[in-house]
Each structure stands twice: as structure tokens, then as C-alpha cells.
Structure 1
Amino acid sequence: MLRMLIAAALFLGAAPALAQQDGSQPQMERVPDRPAGEGQGPFGTLLIKNATMIDGTGAPPEGPVSILIEGNRIARIIRGGGEVAADRVIDASGMHVLPGFVDVHGHNGDPSKAPQPSYGFKLWLAHGVTSVRGVGFGGGADDPSLDQRARSAANTITAPRLFAYAVPGDVWPNGAVRTPEQGRAWVRWIKQRGYDGIKFFNMEDPATFAAINDEAEKLGLGTVAHLGQRGVAQVNGRTAVELGLDGVTHFYGHMESLLADGSTPHYPADYNYLDEQSRFAWVARLEDQAVEPGSEKWDEYVDFLVDSGVTLSPTFNIYAASRDVSAARNREWHDAYTLPSLMDFYAPSLTNHGSYYHDWTSEDEAAWKRFYAKWFALTRDFQDKGGRVTAGSDPGYIYQTWGFAYISELEMLREAGLSPMEVIQAATINGAREIYDPKGSEPPFGSIKEGKLADLVIVPGNPLANLKVLYGTGHVRLNRESNTLETQGGVRWTIKDGVVYDARALLADVAEMVEAQKAAR
């Protein structure tokens, strides 16, 4: 019976809720209203003065620049800096201002990890993330996504701007989607409810997959897919794009489209998809079966992806622990900012999804490093040939804590070969366009332009020179003149929709949540 329960949990790809002492299951809490003083504004006029601006479009930095905001919109960009009358003034001298970051792969709905969603929301905001695409934020009949999105839009909760995607067959009362007709009906249903798009998992029927994509395009809904291994023999990366998919997240589907020999991967004799250690240890070995970068088949596939207009959101960070589990387990932010319940979830487990390194060896880590080299190469070649890459963090799994995981993703995009400016584009305008292209409109955020929404990040230090200044813990360095350690950076202010959040205060709130849970234990 235990083996059957474990297999069922792994098959679902999610962790079962952990029973509380009274035998009941933990429930996700409702996000509290934004308390007075937490986030100020929007103001009649707000001035950010004398910053160096990185506008998100790829244009070079320029400064000093002062930015005048009226309500929740950028009214004027004053090149050369200076001060004009305003209801509030933020002196950003010596700091950089960027568009608010966009996380295109967010989750925030598992009470066994973090029962209060504001924990993740505050960590995102504290790291400059002002927009998140939820894929999804909960699910099921009681999916909180639309309620949270509406409250965030009204600025009545402390949260980034939210976009709600749903999984086929989820969030409606009619059960699984198994036919093209059911798929189209489900798409029309979620459109009527107000969802922004669709997240696919393991879509095994090409006809239904195509019908959902087609209906979504007609109705202005976005689509993105995790092309899981149960369905990838029928719908790999190439097939999914041919069938109308807008975006591919993670690595799934790519290597299966680049096999050097045969049409399906060669699985080892003892492979078991329901055993997550087997599943993820084998993933890295898939690298050996794919053709080499620069080969004819490789280049043809990259050209195909670019020509199709598909977007890649690789989420490199979420599997980074596979390269070095010890390093991921001991990140410097865990003690202060990762909830004990979340650390419990991260630990090796037979039931918790992603906690698969049960007996993780140096051979496994070496294999994953080789896999990353090929995955990096694919992403870099796609970017270099004109493809759109975006930044998503998939937080809450595999030692990837909200906010910190997003900055880790930016560092890994840099490691893959994107230039620092291309990384900022991925984090800002590219993510905004991935969300808004299906809607048929230019995004109202993602770049610093007059008329755009006032979604901004103000950070001491230069992220183009060192992305580490964006971490909530900052960048620790030695002052060579005084021979003392000092911390540089950490986002100072995050402005979302004209509301100014003190990033340090948000982190202090999160630290209090962590300490309260420790004390309760």
C-alpha cells in the first residue's frame, strides 16, 4: 500500500499535503489586505531623481536621469537629471533604475510548503519582480488565481502584478479534457472566467493539443508547455511548435527533437518514470543521445524554432541543484528567509515532487553539468539567431526559494552566454511581450518609456557589472582600503503600479515569518 501511495503521488507530479497534528490537512491561507504603510502611493507625483537608467529595450545605460511619475504612469523622463516639484522624491543618486522584472514561471499554492501566499509575493517584490505569470497559483475548483489577480490589480494586497494560466481540464467542473471538442470547450470556459492563458503538462494527444492551441489563439490566450516525458514521444518540441504552441518552458522536448539515433530516447532497462531519482538522473544522460551543437540537425532545429516565433523560458535555476546539491542546500539566504516547512519539503523525499536526489552521486552531478552545457548552447544559439528568451524561476522546489531563485535564473542566463544587457531584456521587455503578444497588444510595462506603467526597480550598484547586487542578501565583498567586509546592493525600492515598496522592509517581514515558524516548532 505504501508503494502504491508513493507511486500515485509521483504520478501526479505534486507533493501530497502533510497532515497536521490533529490529522487535518493544511489549507492555503487567504492573502491579507495590504496593511497601512506597507507600500506607499500611488502619488499624485513621484520623482526618482539622478539615477542611471537601463530602460529594458537594449539601449545603453544613461544618467543622470530623473523620472517623473503621475499616479501609476511614467509622465516624463528628464535626461541630465535634476529635480522638479513632486509629492514624493526618491534620491537615486549612485543607483540604477530598471523596469520591473517579469517572472514568466510562477507557482504559489502549496500549503505544505508555504501556507501564506504573501510569503512568496513579498520575496518576489523584494527582488524587483513586479509581474508574475502563474502557471499556476493553485488550481482546482477553489483556484485562488483570479481573486489574487484582481486584488493585486487593485493594490489591496502586497503582491506583484499577476497573470493566471490554467492547466487543461483543471479549474472547471467537467473533468479531464480528452478530445479536441472538449479542449475547445474548456478554452472557451476559461476565457469566459477571465484567465490569461494555458499551461500544458504531458499532452499526449496531438489532435487535442492542436485544438486547444488553435482555440486559444482565436481567443487571445497565451500557451506554454512543460513537455513532460510521458507525452513527449507524441508531442516533442518540434511537434508542439508545429501544432501552434507559443512557448516552451524547461528543457523538455528539445533533446528529444535532436536525437542522433531513432525517434524516441533509449531508456535504461531499470528506468522507472514514477521513481523521481530514476527520472531525473536519466534526464542528464539524454545529452549523450542528442546531436552536437553546430551539426546540421542542430542548426536546422534552432532555425525552425526562431522562424516559428516560439518563446523559450528555460528556467535553468530550478534544476541547478542537480549540478551541486550541497551548494544548493546551503545557500546563504536559507537560514533567514526560507521557511522551515519549505526546507522540509526540499529535503530528499519519496513523495515531495522535485526532492529526487535520494542517493545523488558525483556521477549524477557530472552528468548534469554536461547536460547543462548542451542546454546552454541551445538557448544561446536560439538567442543569437533572433529568438526570444525570457526569465522564469519556477520557485518552491529543489532549494529554489522565491525571489532568490529569480536572480539565480538571471545569473544562469548569463552563464549560458547571454550578454548582461540581453539578460536584462529577458527579465523585462521580453517577458512582458511573451505575456502580451497573444493579447495582440504592446505590453504596458517591461520598459521605461513615457506613458508606460510605473513598474520599476531601484538598486544600489550596477547589475550589468554584477547581477549579484540584485539578491536580497546583496553582494559581500572586501573593501581593500579598509580590509573590511561590506555588502553592496540588494534592491532598495520596488515600484509596482506607482506604489513604492521598501524592499528591505519586505525582507524583514519575511524573516519574521521564518522566525515565527521556527518558534512555533
Structure 2
Amino acid sequence: MRLGKYLIAMVAAAMASGLSAQMEPVPDIQPGEAEGPYGTLIVSGATMIEGSGAPPMGPVDIVIEGNRIAAIHGGGAPADVRASADRVIDAAGMTVMPGFVDTHGHNGDPSKAAQPSYGYRLWLAHGVTSVRGVSFYFGPGQPDLTDRQRSEANAIVAPRLFPYAVFGDKWGRPAPTTPAGAREWVRWAKAQGFWGIKFFNSAMPDVLGAALDEAEKQGLGTVAHLAQPGVQRVNARKAVELGLDGITHFYGHFESLLDDNALPRYPQGYNYFDEQSRFGWVARLADQVVEPHSEEWDAYIDYLIESGVTLSPTFNIYSASRDVMAAKNRDWHARYSLPSLMDFYAPSATNHGSYYKDWSTEDEVAWRKFYRYWFDLTAEFHRRGGRVTAGSDPGYIYQTWGFAYIGELEMLREAGLSPLEVIRAATTAGAQEIYDPRDEETPMGTIQVGKLADLVIVPGNPLDNLKLLYGTGHTKLNRETGSIEQVGGVRWTIKDGVIYDAPKLLESVAAMVEMQKGSREAAQ
């Protein structure tokens, strides 16, 4: 069997858009771009949401020594501890949480966001201190692993990076087509330093099964986008049977819940390689599945929970499908979305996800129904004890880095998770998804003594309003003065004990946008 059609299409599109070319190198961190780590740093006076699901508590003083949390003092640290601190952050009236974990990250490419620092800074500016890249870059010779090493050393402005490789990619040889070849590739990926594997459902079941089995032996995580060209062989139920750790997006779920047919019913003239056809039809799949809370529906959710699989739904990446006008006019595009990125988002015959060539009210209504079903499945899975994490899949479909992640938190809330459950999904659950395959205790994801000092500090209480986390803040009428105010926005992000000024990061991104606008004007 040759490389699956989906992966062929992905690689072809990547080459057409410049992904085969090298991205710009990430510059070294410059003086003044971050502060610390300190011998002793205290985050003082904040209300703490510690990540495990425990209720808020405060005020607390969090004492950090180097890159680790050394103590947590309710009401305030002793006077001698405060006096000896190298720095004290006054966080009174603010909320401190564990650094957020984005479980579905990509970088840009030379045609839309050639400098990876653009996305890295936007993630940090929104409190994201850890990102699982699936993959950060496609193709051999790309700096997934060196970016991780440089971030680990705090030599670049970037979150903590956990690189996954797409199955069959990276090694400069044809993708495996046999179980033995699959095992060889998995061992190669482990030896290179990758943390896991992303599957696009392009392998036959015996090849996929061998790869998943070898990944478990090697302590590599696995996650799959179960694309339509292969879902007739391996839907979500089958992938979980074969040993898959995590399912991202919605693919494979509804194909496991078909009502009257063994295969999905495609409309006349359907063409998977025409992305408007592909994504327009997806929403109509909701009309072909069993009803939520039916016996078959509940049995499927029970099976997923019993298997221990993790769901990273990435609701936000398809949200424009239910209101494309709103998506292309978000508050942040003018100042923080690169012109080249907005070009990529626009309707296109070639750019992946730029499928709004003739998007209609009927398409949006169908997607709103689809979301009701998808939300219901995810929320019920979560309610019964299944693990749900937060991933943003940025750089496509009007979803700009950082902002897209907060959008995902809002959509997890819309799906039915409580605000406290949303924060747990964004912190503890994400860290567990990354570290569980290695059978290691998570070093971050909660605010606990001994854990890494990965924190996000935001004015106000995001449990009352998740919009406070957007870099553009939240628009609010001051009833006393009658003035309109922008409130919120992350104030500080701390990664590995290193302090990043979030507004300053956003200013550096705005400068990148203005520079590109100026270059375009000069070229006219």
C-alpha cells in the first residue's frame, strides 16, 4: 500500500504553500524580554486556582525558588521570607493559575507566518506555558527538536514545547507500509527525541496497530486525526481498540455511531479534495447518527471511558463554520493577525481550511446542529469521568495563536464543562495527557510545592468571565462613570520561573504586524 491519500494531499498542499521550505530561525531571547529566574520570587496576594479542580482560595503568597514552587502561604508569607525575596509581584485582586497547556499546536509556514516567534509569543501572552506540537513543522530537517531544546534552556521566547511527529514523516524516507516498517519508524522517532506520534489515519489497520503497539513500548504518546479517506477502515472505536491514546477533532466519532448504514452517505458530486465540499458535508453527518442518549450512543461513550482514551476536541478550529462573518472580524485581527495570515485565511482553492468559497446560511445552520451533537458527546464523556483537554490547532480558519486557545476554553464551557472544569482541562488534564504515556508524574499542571513554576496571572476572576483571558481584554461599561473600559488580559506569564510581561509580548507581536504592513505598502 502506498502512502494514504490524505497524507499525500497534505504533503502536496504543504509544498504548494511553502512548507517544504525552512521557516525563519527563532531569534535568541534579548535583554529585557524576560526576567528571572530568581533565587526567590514571590507572587503575592492573588486568589489561587490550583488546577486539580479544587475551589479558589486566597489571598496566597506563592514562593518560587529558581524554577520550582517552594512554598504556598495562605494569607501571606512570613515577614522574613518576604524581606529576603529577590522580587515580589503584587498580584492583589488578581487570579493565579497553573500555566495553560495547549495539546494541539502547529507553527505557521513561510507563506503565512514565517517567524515561529510570532506564534510562540502569542501563546505566552495568553498564559500558555506548554504546547504539544502535532507537528510544529512538517517535513524533514525542521527544527521541532532544537526549538524544544532552546525553549527548555530559556534561550528563546517560547512556551515549553513537546514535539510529536506525524507518522511516516521527518525521516526523509517513504512512509512505512508494513508492520515491521511501522515499528522501525516508531523506534527511529523515539531515538530522535520526539515525544509522540500524530496519525492521520493513512495506514492500514495492521500497520497502525503495529505502530501503536510499538509506541506504547517506547513510551511515546499517540493522537489521531481520523480523516475521512481512512475512516471506513479505522473509525474512532477501531482506533481505540488498536491502542490509540487520544482522539483530536471530531473525526471518527460519528462514523462509529451511524444509524442506518455501515458507511457514511455522501451527497452526489462529493469530492473530498474540494474542501468546501468536505467541510460542508461534515455537518450533515449529524443527520446520519443515532440520537444522543440512545442506547448505542451511551454504549459508545462508556466504551471510550473504559478504554482510557483522551479527547482533545479543538472545538474552536471549526467555529467559523457556524458564523464566518464573525470569525473574520474578530477584535484582534487588525492589530495582531499578520496580513499574510489574513491572506491565508481568505477563501482559497489551495490553502487548507480556507474553504469559504460559497458558504451559505444553510451550511452554518447545519454546523450549529453538528456542534450540538459534538458538544453533547464530549460533555457526557467528561461527566462520566473521561479526560478532556484543551487544544487550539491555530493558524487556520481565522484562528490566530493564543486568541484561539482562549476561544477553545470558551467553547469547552459552551459544551457543558463548568468554568472550574475548563481550567482543569487546560492545566492538569493537558499535562497528564502529555506525561502519562511516559509513566511519569507531571512536573507542571498544578500549583503545588515541588512543581515547576509555570503560572498565569490575570486581573479579575476568569471563573466569572473567561473573556478576561483574551489579550484584547473584555469590553465593559463602567456604570459609575459611563465610560467604556477594556478590562482583563493576562498580566504576567511565568514559565520555568521566568517572568514574561504579557502586554509587552503583545506589543512585540503588534510590531511584527506593523512591519509587514509597512513592507507591503513600500512594495506597492
TM-score when scaled to structure 1? 0.96
1:58 aligns with 2:53: yes
Question: What pairs with 1:317-466 in structure 2 (closer than 5 Å)?
Answer: 317-466=316-465
Task: Provide Cα deviations, 1:306-329, integer angstroms capped at 9, x if missing partner.
Answer: 010000000000000000000000
Residue of structure 2 aligned with 1:46, choices 41, 44, 47: 41
SS at match of 2:231: coil
User: Residues 410 and 132 (structure 1 numbering): CA distance in 2 closer, same or farther, change over 3 Å?
Assistant: same
* Paired residues of 1:204 and 1:230 also in contact (CA < 8 A): no
1:147 counterpart letter in structure 2: T
Aligned equivalents of 2:344 and 2:94: distance in 1? 37
Contact 2:108 2:395 in 1 (8 A): no
**Is 1:179 the equivalent of 2:186?**
no
| Structure 2 SS opposite 1:428 | helix
- For residues 155-208 of structure 1, give each alpha carbon's deviation from its aligned partner in whole angstroms, at most 9, with x where no partner exists: 000000000100111111331111111100000001111110000012340111
Q: Which residue of 2 aligns with 1:4?
A: none
Percent identity reads 68
Alignment-derived partner of residue 168 in structure 1: 167
Taking a change above 3 Å as real, the CA distance of residues 25 and 173 of structure 1, as seen in their structure-2 partners, is: closer
Give the partner amino acid of 1:34. Answer: I
Question: Which letter does structure 1 place at the counterpart of 2:117?
Answer: S
Q: Is 1:101 matched with 2:96?
A: no
Give 1:149's aligned residue.
Answer: 148
Cα distance in structure 2, aligned partners of 1:272 and 1:78: 60
**Separation of aligned partners in 2, 1:127 and 1:95:** 15
> Shift in Å at residue 18 of structure 1?
5.0
**Structure-1 residue corresponding to 2:501:** 502
CA contact (8 A) 2:123 2:129 kept: yes
Alignment match, 1:76: 71
Amino acid at match of 1:81: G
Kindly tell me: are residues 183 and 417 of structure 1, through their superposed partners in 2, closer, same or farther at Cα, counting changes over 3 Å? same
1:241 is aligned to 2:236: no
Aligned equivalents of 1:276, 1:10: Cα separation in 2: 11
1:223 aligns with 2:218: no
Cα pair 2:456 2:494 within 8 Å, conserved: yes
Gapped regions of structure 2 (runs ≥ 5): 1-5
Secondary structure of 1:423 counterpart: helix
* Correspondence list, 1:13-32, <5 A: 14-17=13-16, 27-32=22-27
CA distance in 1, matches of 2:347, 2:363: 15
In structure 2, which of residues 20, 25, 29 is the aligned counterpart of residue 34 of structure 1? Answer: 29
Distance 2:27 2:166 in 1: 26
CA 1:420/1:256 → structure 2, altered by over 3 Å: closer, same or farther?
same
More deviation in 136-145 or 271-280? 136-145
Q: Return closer, same or farther for 1:12/1:141 CA change in 2, 3 Å cut-off.
A: closer
| Structure 2 counterpart SS, 1:231 | helix
1:301 to 1:156, Cα distance in 2 relative to 1, 3 A = same
Please tell me whether the aligned partners of residues 7 and 200 of structure 2 are also in contact (alpha carbons under 8 angstroms).
Answer: no
- CA 1:12–1:183: 2 relative to 1, 3 Å: same
| Offset of residue 9 of structure 1 | 8.6
Q: Which residue of 1 aligns with 2:519?
A: 520
Contact 1:259 1:290 in 2 (8 A): yes
2:17–2:351 Cα contact (<8 Å) kept:
no
Letter in 2 for 1:48: V
Report if the CA contact (8 A) 2:177-2:203 is conserved: no
Letter in 2 for 1:59: A
Moved more, 206-215 or 138-147: 138-147
TM-score normalised by L of structure 2: 0.96
Counterpart-to-counterpart distance in 1, 2:311 and 2:10: 26
Deviation digits for residues 277-317 of structure 1, max 9, x if unmatched? 00000000000001111100000000000010000000000
In structure 2, the CA distance between the partners of 1:488 and 1:169, relative to structure 1 (3 Å rule), is same
Query: How many equivalent pairs are there?
Result: 511
Q: Verify the 8 A CA contact 1:16 1:352 in the aligned structure 2.
A: no
**Offset, 1:8:** 11
Contact 1:103 1:131 in 2 (8 A): yes
Verify the 8 A CA contact 2:94 2:459 in the aligned structure 1: yes
Give 1:166's aligned amino acid.
A
Equivalent AA in structure 2 for residue 391 of structure 1? A
- Contact 1:15–1:351 under 8 Å retained in 2: no
My pick for the range that moved more, 171-180 or 187-196, is 171-180
Deviations 1:43-72 (A, max 9, x none): 011000010000000000000000000000
Distance (Å, rounded) in 2 between the aligned partners of 1:313 and 1:13: 26
